[in-house]
Chain A
Amino acid sequence: MRGFFRGRHEGRDLEGELRAARPEPRREFVNALEARVRQDGKRARGGFRVAFVGALTACMLFALASVGGLGYAASAAGDVAVTAKRIVKKKGPKIIKKSAAKSQYGKKTKKKVKKQVKAKKKVKAKRQVRRAAHPRFTG
Chain B
Amino acid sequence: MARDPLADTGPLIRRVYAYVAYRVGDGPEAEDLTSETFERALRYRGSYDPKRGEPVAWLIGIARRCIEGARLGTVPLAEPDETADPVDVEAETVERLTLQQAVEGLDERDRELVALRYGSDLSARQIGELLELRTNAVEVALHRALARLRKLLEGQAEHAAEARAAGRPGTV
- Provide the bound-state CA to CA distance between A17 and B90, in Å: 16
Query: Chain A residues in contact with chain B, CB under 8 A?
Result: 1-2, 5-6, 8-10, 12, 14-15, 17-19, 21-26, 29-30, 33-34, 36-38, 40-41, 44, 48
Chain B 14-25 interface mask (CB, 8 Å, partner A; 1/0): 100110011000
**Chain B residues within 8 Å of A41, by CB:** 4, 6
Which of A6, A12, A23, A38: most chain B Cβ within 10 A? A23
**Chain B residues within 8 Å of A33, by CB:** 9, 13, 34-35, 38
Chain B residue at smallest Cβ distance from A32: B35
**Chain A residues within 8 Å of B6, by CB:** 37, 41
Chain B residue at smallest Cβ distance from A24: B14
Q: Is the CB of B21 within 8 A of A9?
A: no
Chain B residue at smallest Cβ distance from A6: B154
**Chain B residues within 8 Å of A5, by CB:** 154, 157-158, 160-161
- Provide the bound-state CA to CA distance between A77 and B70, in Å: 64
- Asked if B10 is at the interface of the complex by the 8 Å CB criterion, the answer is yes
**Chain A residues within 8 Å of B99, by CB:** 17-18, 21
Query: Chain B residues in contact with chain A, CB under 8 A?
Result: 1, 4, 6, 9-10, 13-14, 17-18, 21-22, 26, 30-31, 34-35, 38, 42, 45, 95-96, 99-100, 103, 114, 118-119, 121, 146, 149-150, 153-154, 157-158, 160-162, 164-165, 172
**Chain B residues within 8 Å of A14, by CB:** 146, 149-150, 153
On whether A9 and B38 interact (CB within 8 A), knowing A15-B118, A23-B17, the answer reads no
- Provide the bound-state CA to CA distance between A24 and B22, in Å: 10
Q: Is the interface of A mostly helix, strand, loop or mixed?
A: helix
Q: Is the interface of B mostly helix, strand, loop or mixed?
A: helix
On whether A19 and B118 interact (CB within 8 A), knowing A14-B150, A37-B38, A44-B45, the answer reads yes
Q: 3 closest A-B pairs (Cβ-Cβ)?
A: A5-B157, A23-B21, A18-B118
- Provide the bound-state CA to CA distance between A10 and B149, in Å: 11
Distance in angstroms from A39 CB to nearest chain B CB is: 10
Chain B residue at smallest Cβ distance from A36: B38
Distance in angstroms from A17 CB to nearest chain B CB is: 6
Chain B residue at smallest Cβ distance from A18: B118
Distance in angstroms from A21 CB to nearest chain B CB is: 4
Q: Is the CB of B13 within 8 A of A9?
A: no
Q: Can you give 23 contacting A-B residue pairs, CB < 8 Å?
A: A2-B161, A5-B158, A5-B160, A6-B154, A12-B150, A14-B153, A17-B99, A18-B99, A18-B114, A18-B118, A19-B118, A21-B95, A21-B99, A21-B100, A23-B119, A25-B13, A25-B14, A25-B17, A25-B30, A34-B13, A36-B42, A37-B42, A48-B1
